[in-house]
């Protein structure tokens, strides 16, 4: 609808929030348009989408432009979610217009608008400025009534067309026609379920035949977001009887009100069964479950279990969905057709109504924190969302973040423990190899200790699998000249280049810059270049030479960049087509390799050397997770951990699988050095064409912050990586004992949008 030609609408100055770097601007918009409605406006250099904030009582005295069009008939997001957005906008000092795209895919918009314009009733209402009626419609919708059902259904049919066909009954051999049998056989072969379009393409059967089969009760057709059932595994829908601890944990969660809980138990101790139990209770109350996971690709088993337990009720939101899937996703959520929503980070802002439970699985994972603007932390927002929705939140982990552990110790989160070892799962036997001894003995730096080599030979001889971890890609970490001592660095970043032998390139892992390896040193011309620090590519080569008959598979970011290659590799390993897996930490998580009995960690200290106060915590988490990979019910697993510092608490505690011991020591250290969780941090990051420019911007911010009490400031200092893509980077770190001190400071010293400085609240990475 074009507003400018419409005389009946009363246009008044209205503040519209646009995405940064723009501040909110004032446009003419229909009187009474509710805050939260998205509109399109014209800017000097094109169109933009904005969010209505409300009437502007003191409009600027220039000629105001009218908005171009109205995108939503009423605020699409449920009121509770709008409250959460308002909180997040304040907390992270970003505009609501920035957070909106995380809740609703922008691509919904053009489609949506067309539909609304076709819907005569709606268009009429808007033309006459009868916002109250529209708002009432919207309220009804948010309450769960479906006044707009027809509209949404049309959209969904057009946008998505995702119908899944599932096999349900056993046909009598005489009662199906050949065409029907063909469809059933194809379904059988696909594991019981597939997309209707795939099925029809593969078998050539018509929709009528499928309808017939459905009427006979032999198949079922359901609208779905993602084909969880492709991942269906045998025997997952069995129900377990919760043990005493699991029952106690489930009973301790009051579903009628907000409460934050930390469910702490080793991998396999039955946390997921507790979530499932609670989810079932919540569904039976007619409420919904928001279930966050760190990464979709790493949770195939969880998804299969969910689908087995709640067939057809689970929707999935993640980055790899295509546009029409995302649209279907949002429409389904808005219509409440998927009472369980599983998703990654941004799913915490999903337009889900009437939430009765929020689960944050593996709450310690850093992928919950966004490392780009807006830098939200999904775990923290999940707690806030639980408060707003008045429902319990459960954070689960085998190695909780020290933030959450600390909150539990202080009684802010209720601690629920699962201490029992699950049936038949043995802890692996951990053997520590002190690399200093190995060096003394062999008089050279040791990559594979004797014990590790013997362990690999053993597992090969028994036909079992071994996994070796090294957190460094490439062949050699960097090249240096033995004559002048200089390293070969990226031309655009302050890091050295990594040698990739297969590609025969020196590469920058930050910006992707690459160069053909030179013959002689570009600094001094000597031909004494040598590579330092082996990476996974070299480990793979060396292993192949040591064990020529072994089937070796390397999984790291270089070998898995093609879509689906990671899954293919993991599947091959699960099926026993691989003898030795070599890879980076991406291998440590979530997979289930039944034949794996040996895990070798080549250099456990590697992560400890990072200049980051969380280095020990991350190392502990990684080592504990890795150790959990090895060993199954019927075979004793082994971990061989090579290290130069066996006495470091992170390593010593990981060997004993002693989280609490580690947490106690580490929390004391954090307290002594005033690091989180005993303090809260905010990191101002600035970028400029020179270090000086980047620094000045931070100096200015520091001056503005300095009168505010309760803050300690460090910097401005060069960022640990002081240049990336030719932009120089500086940091200003702000510490406070109280979260409120930081909030006050932020409110008083808001940054100019679009400036060189950005804020990273509760920073996780300091790179």
3 state SS of 55: strand
Residues 245-264 that bind ligand ADP (CB under 6 A): 246
Closest distance between Zn ion and the C-beta of residue 515, in Å?
10
Buried b (16+ CB within 10 A) or exposed e, 298-321: bbbebbbbbbbbbbbbbbbbbeeb
Q: Using the rule CB under 6 A, is 657 a contact of ligand ADP?
A: no
Counting Cα atoms < 13 Å in the Cβ hemisphere of 4 gives: 8
Contact with ligand ADP (CB under 6 A) among 272, 324, 354, 451: 272
Closest distance between ligand ADP and the C-beta of residue 239, in Å?
9
- How many angstroms separate the CA atoms of 338 and 326, rounded? 14
Closest distance between ligand ADP and the C-beta of residue 360, in Å?
13
Number of residues that bind ligand ADP (CB under 6 A): 15
Nearer of residues 242 and 415 to ligand ADP, judged by Cβ: 242
Of 570, 590, 589, nearest in space to 581 by CA: 570
Nearer of residues 242 and 494 to ligand ADP, judged by Cβ: 242
Helix/strand/coil (H/E/C) assignment for every residue in 183-200: HHHHHHHCCCEEEHHHHH
Residues 399-438 that bind Zn ion (CB under 5 A): none
Q: With CB under 5 A as the contact rule, which of the stretches 166-174, 222-230, 492-500, 631-639 interacts with Zn ion?
A: 492-500
Residue 268 binds: one of ligand ADP, Zn ion, none (C-beta under 5 to 8 A by kind): ligand ADP
What are the structure tokens assigned to 692, written together?
A: 């000086």
Q: Using the rule CB under 5 A, is 553 a contact of Zn ion?
A: no
What are the structure tokens assigned to 231, written together?
A: 């991942």
Q: Using the rule CB under 6 A, is 457 a contact of ligand ADP?
A: no
Nearer of residues 129 and 422 to ligand ADP, judged by Cβ: 422
Distances 557 to 501, 537, 566 between C-alpha atoms, Å: 15, 11, 9
Q: Using the rule CB under 6 A, is 538 a contact of ligand ADP?
A: no
Of 294, 506, 469, nearest in space to 396 by CA: 294
Residue 252 binds: one of Zn ion, ligand ADP, none (C-beta under 5 to 8 A by kind): none
Q: Using the rule CB under 6 A, is 633 a contact of ligand ADP?
A: no
Nearer of residues 359 and 552 to ligand ADP, judged by Cβ: 359
Q: With CB under 6 A as the contact rule, which of the stretches 266-274, 372-380, 563-571, 695-703 interacts with ligand ADP?
A: 266-274
- Site map (CB under 6 A) of ligand ADP, residues 57-96, x = contact: ----------------------------------------
Closest distance between Zn ion and the C-beta of residue 495, in Å?
6
Q: Using the rule CB under 5 A, is 223 a contact of Zn ion?
A: no
- How many angstroms separate the CA atoms of 597 and 603, rounded? 19
Element (H, E) at 574: helix 565-574
Q: Using the rule CB under 5 A, is 493 a contact of Zn ion?
A: yes
Q: Using the rule CB under 6 A, is 392 a contact of ligand ADP?
A: no
The residue with tokens 């960022």 is 719
Distances 735 to 480, 596, 600, 719 between C-alpha atoms, Å: 38, 45, 39, 17
Which residues are bridge partners to 431 per DSSP? 640
Residue 513 binds: one of ligand ADP, Zn ion, none (C-beta under 5 to 8 A by kind): Zn ion
- Site map (CB under 5 A) of Zn ion, residues 503-542, x = contact: -----x-xx-x-----------------------------
Residue 508 binds: one of Zn ion, ligand ADP, none (C-beta under 5 to 8 A by kind): Zn ion
Residue 246 binds: one of ligand ADP, Zn ion, none (C-beta under 5 to 8 A by kind): ligand ADP
- How many angstroms separate the CA atoms of 353 and 739, rounded? 29
Contact with ligand ADP (CB under 6 A) among 142, 232, 271, 638: 271
Counting Cα atoms < 13 Å in the Cβ hemisphere of 355 gives: 33
Q: Using the rule CB under 6 A, is 270 a contact of ligand ADP?
A: yes
Closest distance between ligand ADP and the C-beta of residue 422, in Å?
4
- Site map (CB under 6 A) of ligand ADP, residues 403-442, x = contact: -------------------xx-------------------
Q: Using the rule CB under 5 A, is 492 a contact of Zn ion?
A: yes
Measured in whole angstroms, the distance separating CA 536 from the mean position of its chain's CA atoms is: 25
Nearer of residues 373 and 492 to Zn ion, judged by Cβ: 492
Residue 195 binds: one of Zn ion, ligand ADP, none (C-beta under 5 to 8 A by kind): none
The answer to whether 67 and 40 have CB atoms below 8 angstroms apart is yes
Q: Using the rule CB under 6 A, is 594 a contact of ligand ADP?
A: no
Q: Is 34 exposed, middle or buried (0-12, 13-18, 19+ CB in 10 A)?
A: middle
The answer to whether 757 and 688 have CB atoms below 8 angstroms apart is no
Rg (the chain; Cα; Å): 29
Residue 243 binds: one of ligand ADP, Zn ion, none (C-beta under 5 to 8 A by kind): ligand ADP
What are the structure tokens assigned to 402, written together?
A: 């020290």
Give the CA-trace dihedral at 340, 346, 351, 355, to 10 degrees: 50
Q: Using the rule CB under 5 A, is 48 a contact of Zn ion?
A: no
Looking at beta carbons, which pairs linking 179-185 to residues 24 or more positions away fall under 8 Å? Answer: 179/203, 179/205, 179/209, 180/205, 180/209, 180/212, 180/213, 180/218, 183/209, 183/210, 183/213, 183/219, 184/213, 184/218, 184/219
Residues 205-244 that bind ligand ADP (CB under 6 A): 240-243
Nearer of residues 241 and 672 to ligand ADP, judged by Cβ: 241
What are phi and psi for residue 374, nearest 5 degrees? -75, 130
Residue 511 binds: one of Zn ion, ligand ADP, none (C-beta under 5 to 8 A by kind): Zn ion
What are the structure tokens assigned to 170, written together?
A: 């056993």
- Who contacts 264 (Cβ-Cβ below 8 Å, separation ≥6)? 396, 397, 398, 400, 405, 408, 415, 416, 417, 418, 659
Residue 493 binds: one of Zn ion, ligand ADP, none (C-beta under 5 to 8 A by kind): Zn ion
Q: Using the rule CB under 6 A, is 269 a contact of ligand ADP?
A: yes
Residue 687 binds: one of Zn ion, ligand ADP, none (C-beta under 5 to 8 A by kind): none
Contact with Zn ion (CB under 5 A) among 104, 302, 316, 490: 490
Q: Is 186 left (phi over 0), alpha (psi -120 to 50) or beta?
A: alpha
The answer to whether 290 and 359 have CB atoms below 8 angstroms apart is yes
- Site residues (CB under 6 A) for ligand ADP? 240-243, 246, 265, 267-273, 422-423
- Site residues (CB under 5 A) for Zn ion? 490, 492-493, 508, 510-511, 513
């Amino acid at each position: 609808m074009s507003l400018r030609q419409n005389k009946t609408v009363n246009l008044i100055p209205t503040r519209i929030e646009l995405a940064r770097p723009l501040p909110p601007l004032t446009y003419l918009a229909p009187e009474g348009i509710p805050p939260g409605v998205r509109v399109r406006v014209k800017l000097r250099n094109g169109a933009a989408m904005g969010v209505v904030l409300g009437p502007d009582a003191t409009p600027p005295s220039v000629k105001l432009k009218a908005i171009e069009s109205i995108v939503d008939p009423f605020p699409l997001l449920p009121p509770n979610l709008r409250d959460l957005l308002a909180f997040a906008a304040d907390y992270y000092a970003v505009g609501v217009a920035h957070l909106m795209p995380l809740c609703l895919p922008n691509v919904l918009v053009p489609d949506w608008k067309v539909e609304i314009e076709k819907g005569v009733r709606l268009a009429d209402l808007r033309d006459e400025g009868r916002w109250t009626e529209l708002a009432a419609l919207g309220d009804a919708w948010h309450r769960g009534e479906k006044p707009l059902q027809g509209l949404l259904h049309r959209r969904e049919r057009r946008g998505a067309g995702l119908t899944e066909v599932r096999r349900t009954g056993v046909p009598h051999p005489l009662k199906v026609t050949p065409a029907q049998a063909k469809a059933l056989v194809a379904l059988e072969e696909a594991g019981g379920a597939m997309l209707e379009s795939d099925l029809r393409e593969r078998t050539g059967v018509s929709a009528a035949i499928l309808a017939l089969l459905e009427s006979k009760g032999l198949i079922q057709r359901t609208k779905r977001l993602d084909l969880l059932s492709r991942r269906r595994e045998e025997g997952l829908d069995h129900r377990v009887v919760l043990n005493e601890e699991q029952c106690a944990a489930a009973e301790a969660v009051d579903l009628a009100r907000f409460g934050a809980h930390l469910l702490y138990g080793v991998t396999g101790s039955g946390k997921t069964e507790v979530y499932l139990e609670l989810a079932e209770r919540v569904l039976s109350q007619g409420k919904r479950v928001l279930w966050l996971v760190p990464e979709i690709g790493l949770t195939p088993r969880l998804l299969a279990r969910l689908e087995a337990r709640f067939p057809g009720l689970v929707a999935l939101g993640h980055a790899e969905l295509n546009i029409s899937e995302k649209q279907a996703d949002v429409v389904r959520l808005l219509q409440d057709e998927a009472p369980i929503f599983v998703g990654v980070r941004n799913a915490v802002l999903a337009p889900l109504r009437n939430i009765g439970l929020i689960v944050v699985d593996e709450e310690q994972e850093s992928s919950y924190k966004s490392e780009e603007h807006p830098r939200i932390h999904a775990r923290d927002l999940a707690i806030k969302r639980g408060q707003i929705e008045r429902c319990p939140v459960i954070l689960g982990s085998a190695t909780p973040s020290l933030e959450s552990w600390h909150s539990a110790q202080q009684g802010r989160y209720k601690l629920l423990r699962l201490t029992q070892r699950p049936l038949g799962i043995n802890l692996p036997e951990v053997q520590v190899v002190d690399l200093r001894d190995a060096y003394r003995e062999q008089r050279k730096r040791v990559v594979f200790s004797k014990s590790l080599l013997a362990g690999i030979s053993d597992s090969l001889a028994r036909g079992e699998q071994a996994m070796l971890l090294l957190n460094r890609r490439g062949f050699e970490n960097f090249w240096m000249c033995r004559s002048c001592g200089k390293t070969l660095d990226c031309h655009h970043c302050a890091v050295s280049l990594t040698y990739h032998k297969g590609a025969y390139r020196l590469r920058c892992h930050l910006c992707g810059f690459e160069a053909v390896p030179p013959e002689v040193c570009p600094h001094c011309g000597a031909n004494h270049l040598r590579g330092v620090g082996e990476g996974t590519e070299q480990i793979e080569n060396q292993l192949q030479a040591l064990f020529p008959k072994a089937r070796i598979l390397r999984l790291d970011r270089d070998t898995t960049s093609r879509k689906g290659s990671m899954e293919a590799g993991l599947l091959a390993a699960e099926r026993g087509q691989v003898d030795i897996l070599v890879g980076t930490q991406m291998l440590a998580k979530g997979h289930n390799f039944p034949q794996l009995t040996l895990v070798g960690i080549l250099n456990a200290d590697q992560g400890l050397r990072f200049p980051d106060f969380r280095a020990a915590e991350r190392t502990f988490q990684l080592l504990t997770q890795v150790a959990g990979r090895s060993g199954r019910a019927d075979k004793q697993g082994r971990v061989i951990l090579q290290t130069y510092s066996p006495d470091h608490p992170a390593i010593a505690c990981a060997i004993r699988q002693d989280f609490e011991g580690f947490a106690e020591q580490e929390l004391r250290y954090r307290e002594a050095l005033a690091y989180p969780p005993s303090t809260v941090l905010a990191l101002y990051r600035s970028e400029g064409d020179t270090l000086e420019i980047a620094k000045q911007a931070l100096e200015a911010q520091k001056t503005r912050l300095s009168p505010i009490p309760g803050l300690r400031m460090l910097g401005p200092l060069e960022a640990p990586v002081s240049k990336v893509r030719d932009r120089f980077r500086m940091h200003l770190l702000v510490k406070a004992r109280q979260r409120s001190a930081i909030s006050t400071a932020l409110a008083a010293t808001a940054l100019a949008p679009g400036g060189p400085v950005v804020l990273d609240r509760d920073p996780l990475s300091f790179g």
